[in-house]
Structure 1
Amino acid sequence: MKPLMLTTMLGVTALLAACGQKTESDETTAANSATEAAPDKGEMAGNMSGDMGNMAMPADSGAKMAKGNGTVTAIDKAAGTVTLDHGPIPEAKWPAMTMAFKARPELLDSVKVGDKVAFDLALKDGSGEVTAIQKQ
């Protein structure tokens, strides 16, 4: 099961890299992914990659806002992440995919795996943080 998850994570990372966003943070993100993906982080099994797991940013940081719909596939309260199988997010130019997002503890407590949700994201530097989430 681990090789399948790793293959999926690498595929999603490659897909995100191919989205064409050319910012300074792309190089930093790639470096962070390479260094953080090396150790076995069993506690973050649902996380897509190192760059997706380090998306901490305050909602008021001047980030662009986006909305999405999807299904909760994992919650990692220790890492402060929720993994969502979401539809396309046009504001971020992201296709439908499954990825982990940072979220405040009270947001993580409001949903469970399998819930269909609508969510708001703060987008910055090619990543996002869930700022609101509601069951549908």
Structure 2
Amino acid sequence: MKPLMLMTILGVSALLAACGQKAETNDTTAANTATEAASDKGEMAGSMSGDMGNMAMPADGGAKMAKGKGTVTAIDKSAGSITLDHGPIPEADWPSMTMAFKAKPELLDSVKVGDRVVFDLTLKDGSGEVTALQKQ
């Protein structure tokens, strides 16, 4: 009877010890892992529209140039932005997606929603700005 009593005491002790500890959820683990990976690689783990969590950006905040092709889906002259449904942008390590970019007013006046365009981007501090825009 002593072995049964010893097993019961050990089992209860283990359960009581586990009761005071919080379990880490998969969401928390995934978020911590993504943040640590971004810190280790000097990449930005931010989010915009689309799946951008694993997109690399310059770690030093320096400007980087990129080119892309896409379709104009929205123009907001008051905000100075243009939304483009673009293909992959290898220089930025971005997949195809739809996202808004800053752009100068003269560029916004040169296109309309639905136009297919080629564009140049300046990537800096985690955001992109359209610096050249041309209808295809």
TM-score range, shorter chain: 0.5 to 0.7
How many residues align? The count is 90
1:15 and 2:51 are equivalent in the alignment:
yes
Higher relative contact order (CA 8 A, sep 6+): 1
Give distance in 1, aligned partners of 2:80 and 2:58. Answer: 28
Counterpart in 2 of 1:65?
65
Give distance in 2, aligned partners of 1:86 and 1:14. Answer: 12
Q: Which runs of 4+ in 1 moved over 6 A?
A: none
Give distance in 2, aligned partners of 1:14 and 1:115. Answer: 21
RMSD after superposition: 2.2
Give distance in 1, aligned partners of 2:64 and 2:115. Answer: 25
By how many angstroms is 1:24 displaced?
Answer: 8.5
Q: Is the 8 A contact 2:85 2:98 kept in 1?
A: yes
Counterpart in 2 of 1:126?
126
Counterpart in 1 of 2:90?
90
**TM score, norm. by length of structure 2:** 0.59
User: What percentage of residue pairs aligned between the two structures are identical?
Assistant: 71
Counterpart in 2 of 1:75?
75
Change (3 A) 1:79 1:13: same
**TM score, norm. by length of structure 1:** 0.59
By how many angstroms is 1:19 displaced?
Answer: 2.9
Q: Which secondary structure does the structure 1 equivalent of 2:52 belong to?
A: helix
Q: Can you list the C-alpha shifts for 1:30-77, whole angstroms capped at 9, x where unaligned?
A: xxxxxxxxxxxxxxxxxxxxxxxxxxxxxxxx5111000000000000
Residue 127 of structure 1 aligns with an amino acid whose one-letter code is S
Q: Whose Rg is larger?
A: 2
Contiguous gaps of at least 5 residues in structure 1: 1-10, 26-61
Which stretch has the larger CA shift, 121-130 or 111-120?
A: 121-130
